[in-house]
């Protein structure tokens, strides 16, 4: 009878420890490393196309052109969402900003 509880402890403790390490690792990746990598990728893409504006500036100017007032908190939220889920959106927003501000393209 004494052997059975020791066997359970010997199996359950390592499984619980591995599960905790796995969950912590996933959370670190999900909330820190993934965002860092996405941010680096978007900034690299902006540099590749010689765009001098930051992600924040692009979003702010884009929504100003659209005539929408959004707060800095909303801009930061959109910036994170766009860089993680829609990184090409920055290029399309920059194209819109460039087209609207370029006087040679106006009819």
* CB-count exposure of residue 9 (10 Å: 0-12, 13-18, 19+): exposed
pLDDT tens-place string over residues 2-55: 566 777 788 888 999 999 999 999 999 998 999 999 999 999 999 999 999 999
Query: Which among 78, 91, 76, 75 has a CA at the least distance from the CA of 41?
Result: 91
pLDDT tens-place string over residues 49-76: 999 999 999 999 999 999 999 999 999 9
- pLDDT for 107 equals 46
pLDDT of residue 106 exceeding 70, the answer is: no
pLDDT of residue 105 exceeding 60, the answer is: no
């Amino acid at each position: 009878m004494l052997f059975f509880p020791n066997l359970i402890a010997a199996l359950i403790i390592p499984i619980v420890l591995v599960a905790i390490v796995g969950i912590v690792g996933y959370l670190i990746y999900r909330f820190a490393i993934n965002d860092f990598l996405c941010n680096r990728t978007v900034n690299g893409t902006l540099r590749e196309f010689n765009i001098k504006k930051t992600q924040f500036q692009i979003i702010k100017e884009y929504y100003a052109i659209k005539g929408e007032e959004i707060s800095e908190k909303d801009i930061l939220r959109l910036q994170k969402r766009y860089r993680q889920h829609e990184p090409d959106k920055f290029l399309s927003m920059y194209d819109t900003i460039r087209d609207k501000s370029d006087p040679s393209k106006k009819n």
